[in-house]
Amino acid sequence: MIIVPEKEIAGLMTRADAYNAVEQVFASMSSGRAYNFPVIREAIGHADALYGFKSGFDRDGLALGLKSGGYWPGNEANGLTNHQSTVFLFDADTGKCRAIVGGNLLTALRTAAASAVSINHLARKDASVLGMIGAGHQSVFQLRAAVEQRSFDKIIGWNYHPEMLQRLAAVAAELGIPFEAVSLAQLGAEADVIISITSAFAPSLLDIHVRPGTHIACMGTDTKGKQELEAAVLARATVFTDEVAQAVTIGEAQHAIAAGLITQDAIHEMGAVVNGTHPGRTSPDEITVFDGTGVGLQDLAVASAVVDLAVAKGVATTVEF
Ligand code: NAD
The amino acid at residue 179 is F
* Residue identifier of the C-alpha nearest atom 35 of ligand 1: 220
Q: What is the pLDDT of residues 246-297, one digit of tens each?
A: 999 999 999 999 999 999 999 999 999 999 999 999 999 999 999 999 999 9
Residue 69 falls within a domain, yes or no?
yes
* Residue identifier of the C-alpha nearest atom 7 of ligand 1: 198
Domain of residue 139, CATH code: 3.40.50.720
Q: What is the spatial distance between Cα 118 and Cα 241, in angstroms, rounded to a whole number? A: 9
Phi/psi at 117 (nearest 5 deg)?
-60, -45
CA of 208 to the centre of ligand 1 (A): 23
Residue 228 falls within a domain, yes or no?
yes
* Residue-number span of the structural domain to which 240 is assigned: 124-294
CA-to-CA separations, 141 to 105, 149, 161, in angstroms, rounded: 10, 13, 18
The mean pLDDT of the chain is: 97
Q: What is the pLDDT of residues 41-82, one digit of tens each?
A: 899 999 999 999 999 999 999 999 999 999 999 998 999 989
Burial 191-205 (b: 16+ CB within 10 A, else e): bbbbbbbbebeebbb
Residue 71 falls within a domain, yes or no?
yes
Q: What is the pLDDT of residues 104-153, one digit of tens each?
A: 999 999 999 999 999 999 999 999 999 999 999 999 999 999 999 999 99
User: Same domain, yes or no, for 56 and 143?
Assistant: no
Atom of ligand 1 minimally distant from the CA of 228: 20
Report which of 193, 219, 274 is spatially closest to residue 19, judged by C-alpha positions: 274
* Average pLDDT, integer, range 184-203: 98
User: Same domain, yes or no, for 286 and 162?
Assistant: yes
Domain of residue 313, CATH code: 3.30.1780.10
Strands (E), the chain: 2-4, 34-36, 40-43, 50-58, 63-71, 83-90, 97-102, 129-133, 154-158, 179-181, 193-196, 201-205, 215-218, 227-229, 238-241, 267-269, 288-291, 317-318
Instruction: State pTM to two decimals.
Output: 0.97
User: Same domain, yes or no, for 265 and 155?
Assistant: yes
Please state the ipTM of this predicted complex.
0.99
Residue 222 confidence class, pLDDT cut points 50, 70, 90 = very high
Residue 116 falls within a domain, yes or no?
no
Binding pocket residue ranges, ligand 1, CB within 6 Å = 107, 111, 134-139, 159-161, 164, 197-200, 204, 219-220, 222, 226, 292-294
Q: What is the pLDDT of residues 159-169, one digit of tens each?
A: 999 999 999 99
pLDDT of residue 91: 97
Number of domains in the chain: 2
With contact defined as beta carbons under 8 Å apart, do 193 and 213 qualify? Answer: no
